Amino acid sequence: MKILIELTYYRPHTSGLTIYAERLAKALAKRGHQVTVLTSQFDKKLARDEWMDGVHVIRLPVLFRISKGVVMPSLGRMATKLVKENDVIHLHLPQIDAAGIALRGRIWKKPIVLTYHCDLRMPWGIMSWLANQGVHVMNQLAALNTNRIVTYTQDYADHSPYLRRFRKKLRIIPPPVELPIATLAAIQDFRKKQNPEDQHPIIGMAARFASEKGVEVLLNAMPRIREACPQVQVWFAGPYENIIGEEAYFKRLEPAIQALIEQGAWKFLGTLNPEQMAVYYPNIDMLVIPSLNSTEAFGLVQIEAMMNGKPSVASNLPGVRQPVLCHAMGKVVEVGNSDALAEAVIEIAQHPAAFHADAQAIKDMYSPDKIARQYEILFAEITDEIKNQ
């Protein structure tokens, strides 16, 4: 099967959406499909055309940006060509370009699946507001022309204004999650480098430094946590400088973070590759997901942590709370409540044995190969429907 996947950003860009898309694309390619990813050349240093892990990646030049969105003048011509050449169209939302590609898919009678990752809420600003409205309109048009809409959990689907409009097209498929196998030696080397004084607890936060991630909630919780756990450290894994659309947010929080860095209570580890993330998780004591709004729909990193036996403290948001509730590994806390976050962190630090589950069962549930098979079934289902029309 020839599968066209389209999304605004693809690897090496780091976000839950791009990681999801990469894992699924690689799994489909391993299962024998011809997979093409159409995306933006968001960094001019990136190759316009390359193969990555069996996946053909085509990047189109960016003329200019509107907040986190991009304008690619050559998209229409290339999209038409690739839609004609492929058997199935798979779109990742939110994004502004999916509507035109979905329309092309409908014209040429190609099965179209749309994976909806989250409701979009841009940072404050007139350009961000305009971009937000444009994306909402184009998302609606994309949904009208697609055959099925996939999301991670029924919980999120029930609370998303967008997904509630298209219940008949909805399918629930868990996200693909995997990490490389880390050796004991690599785990120990990472510990010696990052934690030579053997401080605990280590609070992990693995995310882009973005306003919806609720970094300030953790910052405000730190005085209470440090009072109960004087040796606590936060290890922030992920991009944190010059994030598109988030520069002002980082600048606002930087003084408080710098103070914690100087006191030995905060570390920026930067963007870690999969091999590095595989040794990161065994060295933390818990993960925190203090997200603030529906831009966060699940938190793939929670599953990565749980696969390594580490519990999560997650905001009580639709979808985001599901890993903790489904696997009984951690605590769910009120959104934006720093005191509740602090109490949960302290409880887990003091009673870690109470928050363990079967890590292998979690790995099996989210295996990329298993998730790819579910998409294959969905593609075949739609193909049969189109043939019988």
Domain tally, the chain: 2
What pLDDT sits at residue 119?
A: 82
Residue 249 and residue 338 share a domain:
yes
pLDDT at residue number 388: 85
Same domain, 200 and 301: yes
Residues 331, 214 share a domain: yes
Same domain, 160 and 211: no
In this structure, are 381 and 358 located in the same domain? Answer: no
Residues 380 and 355 in one domain: no
CATH code of the domain containing 131: 3.40.50.2000
pLDDT given for residue 325 in this prediction: 95
Mean pLDDT within 20-45: 96
- Let me know whether 315 and 375 are in one domain: no
- pTM summary value: 0.86
Same domain (yes/no): 320, 204: yes
User: What would the pLDDT profile of 326-352 be if each residue is shown by its tens digit?
Assistant: 999 999 999 999 999 999 999 999 999
Express each pLDDT in 187-234 by its tens digit: 999 999 999 999 999 999 999 898 889 999 999 999 999 999 999 999
304 with 337, same domain: the answer is yes
Ranking 86-90, 96-100, 182-186, 284-288 by mean pLDDT, the lowest is 96-100
Tokens of 147: 């055959």
Which residue's structure tokens are 């990472």?
190
Each residue's pLDDT tens digit, 295-308: 888 999 999 999 99
For the chain, give the mean pLDDT. 93
**What's the rounded mean pLDDT across residues 80-84?**
97
Say yes or no: 373 and 230 in one domain: no
- Parent domain of 26: 2-176+367-387
**Is the pLDDT confidence value at 58 over 70?**
yes
Are 138 and 221 contained in the same domain? no
Q: Domain check: are 109 and 63 in the same one? A: yes
